[in-house]
């Protein structure tokens, strides 16, 4: 492939000059660019420790963790690139990762030797820098040198072209994070060797998910920062309420206001913002955000800011648009808050993760039974073969959180849902009540009310810390918050 030929080159539209005269001219008279080496970034030491722990799990096996490739949005336009979470966790490379990079841990006598393969920056003797619209410097900006990345991340680097020789020797002792780079996985599978699977399970992805169940001090600090930044995003939304209510698609303004903060103070949003006003709050993953935000309604906002390190918060607050809850809205809100507080109260090292959900569900069952919504008592509804109360909350109460909004998702059930809590774990507590607008099991005044309260929780040595407790939670505090805005 010639330097100027990108994998998705648009030759039928190209107007790039191709004469030797032009090539000579554009390649000349450039100032020297110093190859200044940065100091190692803060997370590099933590990433080295993570690699060492992974190495201990797979003695004698080659481990391959791709960052992944850019994904096409339409024609020759890509989605914003985000490296695979396992890659970023093991390298410390976040939003500035060079697409296509691959981390390889080669087995040695005393562990593994880590090498990071990346596409090196092109010199002016190549036409890549001006003619390749996918990777050229004139199009996407300069890439760091191999030496700069090595100093920055504290890991040996080589040109990506050298990775081809490694890929050619994949065998049964090679473990590959299969979902990270589908094309690389396809090439590995084409050799006829099962690379990285056991009974259909991506072994390395599973182990890397489980490695993230307990956060190190750097990760905890990033979670605190992500929550604090997200709080400012919520403040911005409340400050814009007048414009939001006045607009025919006010939910879009909520999304836009929050996303502005995410881009200003972080990398982006950690997931598509849910801005669900009125009946839309009963749609659990409402991300169309095309509705009106009307005075008298509740608006459920589920949003989190992802930092440059890729760690993200995940917060939900339900706000009265008028500034005051109605009597029924407050009744529902207080029930959800009671469930959240009850769940938080039991969190400590040694309990099982699933107990958090069970505790929240007991409150949900008791309140919906008390209001006469269930055909049986709360105790009967809580029996596994009944679960009537789950009509009003079909989702789970908690999920792990970190470099992914649903972190550690490939971990085994006995370490996740049935796992025992340890200090350093971070997860959400997010009960809710959702009364669909056409649900005839509830009185008319409840229909169309959706409430969720979600906080980010850190397990400590003797209990737990609510990282997002500074974002107003009680009905009275929420009303005061909206009034201040």
14-58 pLDDT, tens digit each? 788 889 999 999 999 999 888 899 999 999 999 999 999 999 999
| Residue 65 bridge partners (DSSP) | 103
The span from the CA of 364 to the CA of 356, in Å, is 13
Total-model pTM? 0.95
Block residue for tokens 């971070």: 426
**327-347, pLDDT tens digit by residue?**
999 999 999 999 999 999 999
Secondary structure (DSSP) of 376-438: S-HHHHTSTTT-GGGGG--S-S--B-SSSTTTTTTS-TTTTTTPBP-TT-EEEE--EEE--TT
Domains, the chain, ordered by start: 20-210 (3.40.350.10), 217-484 (3.90.230.10)
- pLDDT averaged over 10-residue windows placed end to end, the chain, 485 residues: 49 80 92 91 98 97 96 90 98 97 97 97 86 88 94 98 94 92 91 70 94 98 98 98 98 98 98 98 98 97 98 98 98 98 98 98 98 98 98 98 98 98 98 98 98 98 98 98 93
Cα dihedral across residues 472, 477, 482, 485: positive or negative = negative
Asked whether 441 and 287 are in contact (CB, 8 A), the reply is no
Phi, psi of 276 (to 5 degrees): -115, 105
Asked whether 23 and 3 are in contact (CB, 8 A), the reply is no
Block residue for tokens 């309140």: 367
The span from the CA of 452 to the CA of 456, in Å, is 13
Cα 468–471–475 angle (5° rounding)? 120
């Amino acid at each position: 492939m010639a330097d100027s030929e990108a994998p998705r080159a648009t030759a039928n539209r190209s107007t790039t000059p191709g004469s030797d005269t032009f090539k000579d001219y554009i390649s000349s008279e450039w100032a020297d660019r110093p190859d200044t080496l940065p100091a190692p970034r803060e997370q590099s030491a933590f990433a080295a420790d993570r690699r060492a722990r992974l190495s201990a799990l797979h003695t004698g096996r080659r481990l391959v963790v791709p960052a992944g490739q850019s994904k096409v949005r339409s024609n020759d336009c890509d989605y914003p690139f985000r490296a695979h979470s396992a890659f970023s966790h093991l390298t410390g490379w976040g939003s500035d990762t060079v697409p296509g990079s691959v981390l390889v841990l080669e087995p040695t006598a005393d562990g593994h030797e880590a090498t990071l393969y990346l596409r090196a920056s092109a010199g002016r003797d190549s036409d890549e820098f001006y003619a390749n619209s996918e990777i050229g410097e004139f199009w996407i900006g300069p890439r760091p040198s191999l030496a700069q990345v090595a100093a920055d991340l504290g890991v040996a680097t080589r040109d990506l072209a050298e990775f081809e020789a490694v890929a050619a020797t994949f065998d049964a002792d090679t473990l590959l994070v299969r979902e990270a780079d589908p094309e690389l996985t396809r090439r590995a599978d084409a050799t006829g060797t099962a690379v990285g699977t056991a009974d259909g399970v991506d072994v390395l992805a599973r182990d890397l998910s489980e490695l993230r169940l307990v956060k190190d001090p750097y990760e905890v600090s990033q979670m605190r920062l992500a929550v604090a930044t997200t709080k400012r995003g919520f403040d911005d939304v409340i400050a814009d309420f007048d414009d939001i209510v006045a607009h025919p698609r006010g939910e879009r303004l909520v999304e836009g206001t929050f996303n502005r903060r995410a881009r200003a103070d972080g990398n982006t949003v950690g997931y598509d913002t849910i801005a669900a006003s009125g009946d839309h709050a009963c749609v659990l993953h409402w991300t169309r955000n095309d509705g009106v935000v009307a005075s008298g309604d509740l608006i459920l906002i589920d949003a989190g800011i992802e930092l440059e390190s890729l760690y993200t918060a995940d917060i939900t607050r339900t706000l009265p648009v008028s500034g005051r809850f109605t009597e029924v809205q407050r009744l529902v809100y207080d029930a959800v808050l009671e469930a959240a507080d009850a769940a938080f109260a039991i969190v400590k090292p040694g309990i099982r993760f699933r107990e958090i959900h069970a505790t929240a569900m007991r409150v949900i069952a008791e309140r919906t039974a008390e209001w006469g919504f269930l055909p049986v008592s709360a105790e009967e509804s809580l029996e596994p073969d009944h679960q009537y109360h789950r009509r009003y909350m079909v989702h789970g109460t908690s999920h792990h959180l970190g470099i992914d909004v649903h972190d550690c998702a490939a971990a085994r059930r006995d370490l996740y849902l049935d796992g025992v809590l340890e200090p350093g774990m971070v997860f959400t507590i997010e009960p809710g009540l959702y009364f669909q607008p056409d649900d005839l099991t509830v009185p008319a005044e409840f229909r169309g009310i959706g409430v969720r309260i979600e906080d980010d929780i850190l397990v400590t040595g003797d209990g737990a810390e609510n990282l997002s407790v500074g974002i107003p939670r009680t009905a009275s505090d929420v009303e005061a918050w909206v009034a201040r805005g």
